[in-house]
């Protein structure tokens, strides 16, 4: 099965100042599918219009992250942010529907001194709420273990096995695992067996080379020729997000 690659506009084509301009850049580079993190600073109608003009499909956005200027990076596990989480879930849905996007990454946030028990309860309760709400909108919620060794120190969800346990416990078709090979390699490794074991729970995959988060090439720890062949052999029919930082000003073309 041929893999479907998605350009991550948060990291690629950053010579263009807005996501609206990056849609066209992605299209010009040959991409049919795009994704990005946080675009809540841009007007919904502008995003919708430029996406449609470029003729690309939006396959993923992130949920409302909190206040990025204050270092917040997700709020789903933060009890003190409960009211904001509930209110902004509707904002997230509004953006997803405008962009006809069927996958939303719901970020947990940073450890903040609260107990593990309290954070987990808040997180799981919110994810149950997300799954029920997304079911009504035909959206899949995603949770992603993110490495705390390089990228986001103190991030709450770092363990792939714990993430899958949460998905299993909620047991909803509208909540799945986002498998980022970059983060998984740093925190757990064992990419082959993790993919084989957890494929039924995976709703989206992202890739970047370790350790520099560059292009998925041969300049690092991960053998992407092998990994992509494995995904084809496993008949993975979802998208592969290219969430990497180009080492130059150009990007891979498809």
How many domains does the chain contain in total? 1
Residue 161 within any structural domain of the chain: yes
What percentage of the chain carries pLDDT values higher than 70?
Answer: 97
Active site residue 193: no
Domain holding 34: CATH number?
3.20.20.150
Residue 103 belongs to domain spanning: 4-242
- What does the pLDDT read at residue 249? 65
Burial class of residue 139, CB neighbours in 10 A (0-12, 13-18, 19+): buried
pLDDT average, residue stretch 197-214: 98
| CB 40, CB 73: distance < 8 Å | no
Q: Is the pLDDT of residue 151 over 90?
A: yes
Tell me the pLDDT tens digit for each residue of 218-230: 999 999 999 999 9
Question: Tokens 């529907």 appear where?
Answer: 97
| CB 17, CB 245: distance < 8 Å | no
Cα 137 versus chain centre, distance: 19
Residue 254 within any structural domain of the chain: no
To the nearest whole number, what is the mean pLDDT of the chain? 96
Q: Kindly state the helix (H) or strand (E) to which residue 9 belongs, with its residue range.
A: none
pTM: 0.96
CA dist list (Å): 224 to 211, 214, 221, 228: 14, 12, 9, 6
* Helices H / strands E in the chain, number of each: 8, 8
Tell me the pLDDT tens digit for each residue of 84-141: 999 999 999 999 999 999 999 999 999 999 999 999 999 999 999 999 999 999 999 9
Place 248 in a pLDDT band, splitting at 50, 70 and 90. confident
The sign of the dihedral angle between the CA atoms of 16, 59, 111, 150 is: negative
Q: Tell me how far apart the alpha carbons of residues 131 and 32 are, in angstroms, rounded to a whole number.
A: 28
Beta bridge partners of 176: 142
Catalytic, out of 35, 57, 72, 144 = 144
ω before 197 within 30° of 0 (cis)?
no
Residue 55 within any structural domain of the chain: yes
Residue 249 within any structural domain of the chain: no
More confident residue, 47 or 252: 47
Residue 20 within any structural domain of the chain: yes
Residue 150 within any structural domain of the chain: yes
pLDDT average, residue stretch 165-177: 98
- What does the pLDDT read at residue 36? 97
Residue 251 within any structural domain of the chain: no
Total length of the chain: 254
Query: What DSSP string describes 151-194?
Result: T-TTBS---HHHHHHHHHHH--TTEEEEEEHHHHHHHT--HHHH
Q: Tell me how far apart the alpha carbons of residues 154 and 109 are, in angstroms, rounded to a whole number.
A: 9
Rg of the Cα trace of the chain? 17
Active site residue 87: no
Residue 170 within any structural domain of the chain: yes
Q: Tell me how far apart the alpha carbons of residues 85 and 108 are, in angstroms, rounded to a whole number.
A: 11
């Amino acid at each position: 099965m041929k893999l479907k690659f998605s350009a991550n506009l948060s990291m690629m084509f950053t010579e263009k100042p807005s996501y609206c301009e990056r849609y066209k850049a992605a299209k010009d580079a040959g991409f049919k599918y795009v994704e990005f993190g946080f675009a809540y600073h841009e007007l919904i109608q502008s995003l919708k219009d430029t996406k449609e003009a470029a003729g690309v499909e939006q396959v993923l956005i992130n949920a409302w992250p909190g206040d990025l200027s204050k270092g917040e990076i997700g709020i789903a596990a933060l009890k003190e942010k409960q009211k904001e989480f509930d209110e902004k879930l509707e904002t997230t849905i509004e953006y997803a529907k405008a962009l006809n996007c069927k996958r939303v990454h719901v970020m947990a946030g940073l450890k903040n001194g609260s107990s593990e028990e309290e954070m987990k309860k808040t997180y799981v309760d919110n994810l149950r709420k997300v799954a029920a709400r997304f079911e009504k909108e035909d959206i899949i919620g995603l949770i992603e273990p993110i490495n705390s060794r390089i990228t986001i120190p103190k991030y709450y969800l770092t363990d792939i096995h714990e993430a899958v346990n949460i998905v299993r416990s909620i047991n909803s078709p509208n909540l799945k695992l986002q498998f980022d090979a970059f983060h998984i390699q740093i925190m757990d490794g064992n990419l082959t067996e993790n993919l084989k074991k957890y494929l039924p729970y995976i709703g989206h995959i992202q890739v970047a080379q370790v350790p520099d988060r560059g292009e998925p090439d041969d300049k690092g720890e991960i053998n992407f020729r092998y990994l992509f062949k494995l995904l084809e052999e496993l008949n993975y029919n979802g998208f592969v997000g290219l969430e990497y930082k180009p080492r130059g000003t150009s990007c891979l073309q498809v």
